[in-house]
A and B are shown apart, each in its own frame.
Chain A
Amino acid sequence: MNVAAINISLGGIGPLLILSATALVVLAIDCFWPSERRSHLAYVTVAGCLVALGATWRLWGAQEAVFGRMIIVDNYSTFFTGIFIVGTTITTLLSIGYTSRMGIDRAEYYALLLFATVGMIMMAQGLNLITIFLGLETLSISLYILAGIQRQRAASIEASLKYFLLGAFSSAFFLYGVALTYGATGSLDLEHITRAVGETTFASKPLLLIGVGLMLIGFGFKVATVPFHVWTPDVYEGAPTSVTAFMSVGAKAAGFGAFVRVFSISLQPLSPDWTHLLWLLAVATMVVGNVMAIAQTNIKRLLAYSSIAHAGYVVVAMVAASALGTSSVLFYLLVYTFMNLGAFGVVLVLGRQDEEVLAIDDFAGLGRRAPALAAAMALFMFALAGIPPTAGFVGKFYIFSAAVQGGFVGLAVIGVLASLVSVYYYFRVVVVMYFMEPAGEIPLAPRSAPATVALVIAAAATLALGLFPSPFITAASRSLVAVLF
Chain B
Amino acid sequence: MTVGLAHYLFVSAVLFSLGVVGVMVRRNAIIIFMSIELMLNAVNLTFVAFGRFHHTLDGQLFVFFVMVVAAAEAVVGLAIIISVFRLRESVDVDRMNLFKW
Determine how close the nearest CB of chain B comes to the CB of A180; give it in whole angstroms.
Answer: 7
Pair B40/A172 contact, Cβ less than 8 Å: yes
Pair A137/B76 contact, Cβ less than 8 Å: no
Pair A168/B84 contact, Cβ less than 8 Å: no
Known: A130-B61, A133-B69, A176-B43. 12 other contacts (CB 8 A): A130-B58, A137-B73, A151-B83, A155-B99, A164-B76, A168-B77, A171-B73, A180-B46, A186-B56, A187-B56, A234-B99, A234-B100
Pair B84/A158 contact, Cβ less than 8 Å: yes
- What's the dominant secondary structure at chain B's contact region? helix
| Chain A contacts for B29, CB-based, 8 A | 161, 165
Q: Which of B46, B53, B69 contacts A176 (CB 8 A)?
A: B46
Contacts between chains A and B (CB distance < 8 A), count: 118
Pair B47/A179 contact, Cβ less than 8 Å: yes
Pair A164/B98 contact, Cβ less than 8 Å: no
| Chain A contacts for B61, CB-based, 8 A | 130
| Chain A contacts for B47, CB-based, 8 A | 179, 182
Pair B33/A176 contact, Cβ less than 8 Å: no
Interface flags, B49-78, vs A, CB<8A=1, else 0: 110011010110110011001001100110
Interface flags, B85-101, vs A, CB<8A=1, else 0: 00110000100101111
Determine how close the nearest CB of chain B comes to the CB of A297; give it in whole angstroms.
Answer: 13
Pair B42/A158 contact, Cβ less than 8 Å: no
Query: Is residue B23 within 8 Å, beta carbon to beta carbon, of the partner chain?
Result: yes
| Interface size of A as a range | 35 or more
Given the known interface contacts A168-B33, A179-B46, the answer about A144 and B39 at a Cβ–Cβ threshold of 8 Å is no
Pair A162/B72 contact, Cβ less than 8 Å: no
**Complex formed: what's the CA distance from A417 to B1 in Å?**
60
Pair A238/B99 contact, Cβ less than 8 Å: yes
With both beta carbons as reference points, the residue of chain A lying nearest to B53 in the complex is identified as A183
| Chain B contacts for A160, CB-based, 8 A | 80, 83
Pair B87/A164 contact, Cβ less than 8 Å: no
Q: Which of B9, B53, B58, B84 contacts A161 (CB 8 A)?
A: B84
With both beta carbons as reference points, the residue of chain B lying nearest to A159 in the complex is identified as B99
Residues 232-248 (chain A) with a chain B CB within 8 angstroms = 233-234, 237-238
**Complex formed: what's the CA distance from A237 to B101 in Å?**
13
Pair A137/B69 contact, Cβ less than 8 Å: yes
Query: Is residue A370 within 8 Å, beta carbon to beta carbon, of the partner chain?
Result: no
Interface flags, B1-40, vs A, CB<8A=1, else 0: 0000000010000001001000100000100110010011
Pair B50/A148 contact, Cβ less than 8 Å: no
**Complex formed: what's the CA distance from A237 to B32 in Å?**
23
Determine how close the nearest CB of chain A comes to the CB of B70; give it in whole angstroms.
Answer: 9
Query: Is residue A141 within 8 Å, beta carbon to beta carbon, of the partner chain?
Result: yes
**Complex formed: what's the CA distance from A248 to B80 in Å?**
21
Query: Is residue A175 within 8 Å, beta carbon to beta carbon, of the partner chain?
Result: yes
Given the known interface contacts A137-B72, A160-B80, A179-B50, the answer about A188 and B98 at a Cβ–Cβ threshold of 8 Å is no
